[in-house]
Amino acid sequence: MTGGLLEKTIRKMERSSRRIGAKSPHVAKEGVYDDARLDWWTSGFWPGMLWIAADLTGDAAYREAAWTYDERMERLFLVPNRFHHDVGFQFLPTAVLKHRLTGDEDGRRRGLFAANFLAGRLNLAGGFLRAWNDVADPTAWNRNNAGWAIIDSMMNLPLLFWASETSGDPRYRHIAAAHADTVLRRFVREDGSVAHIASFDPATGDFLGWIGGQGFAPDSAWSRGAAWALYGFAVACRYTGEARYLEASRRVADFFLASVEADGVPLWDFRVVPREGEPRDTSAASCAASGLIELAALLPPDEGEPYRDAARRTLRALADGYAAWDDPNDEALLRGGTGNKPAGQNVDVSLIYGDYFFLEALAKLSGWKHRVF
């Protein structure tokens, strides 16, 4: 099943790449991807797809199309206050993957530079990596964010784990583990649901409470946040061998699978009320599918296979119900993504990270041995 879907996905990418060119896609409305800033948090996903396609097919055109993204992104570190906690999303699928696949030393250097930047965001008192940057607008909802951490950060920790592995310096790993432990303690609830934003006193590190963020409410369950958590904790376990991270990933995965809609594609928030007419989020589904594959690989075969099976079912549901296979003018792989429902932004659209994780999950199920996160 997955082999045929992967071939179909690569064929669609080949057509789309001619239209996308050197853009930095984020959102596609009516099938046409935009061109976001290269320091925007999604800038690594399209080149990541190109690198995966290059490795799977051996086609040099994908490699050439992907080659300059990390170089172009690096220059933007000279612009103050533009990069933040999401440098893992940006430099793992670009600089680090380039280094892994080609041995390019500039890719390794850029990956380590980004890891140093991320490590510098540690709030020592609270044991967390700060989310976002200062906000100039005094009326902005997130203007007092110096003590905020977010669940998305679990997917940026692999940059620190990789940096520790490639450099031999354990400090990166220590910072990643400190943050993961804080997320486990303050974000993951007993039932496996997770909060989006946790607020701390930035001076003392004291936990102040949850903020709804992109979820329906502070105590609700944003589905993409659950996907970030189940995937991120699985990767933390893969790097460290720590059982507490494996248990966290499994707990969140069980909640996700018990709460998802019948076709395997979740609503944007599992606890939104009323549920009728609320949009799905295909990006949460594709990210969760890729994370479930990672979780399955950490477990004995009889325990892991149900999670791998769930990943296969999710990918089939996405392919059958949400994929834009046949429209030659549609640049995206998946429709039905929800970016930020509370803000009314990017609802029922295509999202590049949904496309990325769809391709990544299919590649892994088809035997691709490299790992980006």
Instruction: Indicate which residues carry an active-site annotation.
Output: 86, 152
Of the candidates 116, 52, 127, the residue with the CA atom closest to the CA atom of residue 87 = 116
Both tokens assigned to 48: 């990541």
Q: Where are the beta strands (DSSP E) in the chain?
A: 27-29, 32-33, 122-123, 128-129, 148-150, 197-200, 207-211, 337-340, 345-351
CA 27 to chain centre: 15
Q: Which helix (H) or strand (E) holds 238?
A: helix 223-240
The owner of tokens 């620190």 is 160
Of the candidates 336, 334, 370, the residue with the CA atom closest to the CA atom of residue 8 = 334
Hey, what long-range contacts does 335-341 have (CB within 8 A, 24 or more apart)?
A: 335/282, 336/265, 336/279, 336/280, 336/281, 336/282, 337/281, 337/282, 337/283, 338/224, 338/268, 338/279, 338/280, 338/281, 338/283, 338/284, 339/27, 340/214, 341/214, 341/216, 341/268, 341/269, 341/278, 341/279
Give the whole-angstrom CA distance, residue 192 versus residue 16: 38
Mark 282-291 as b/e (b = at least 16 C-beta within 10 Å): bbbbbbbbbb
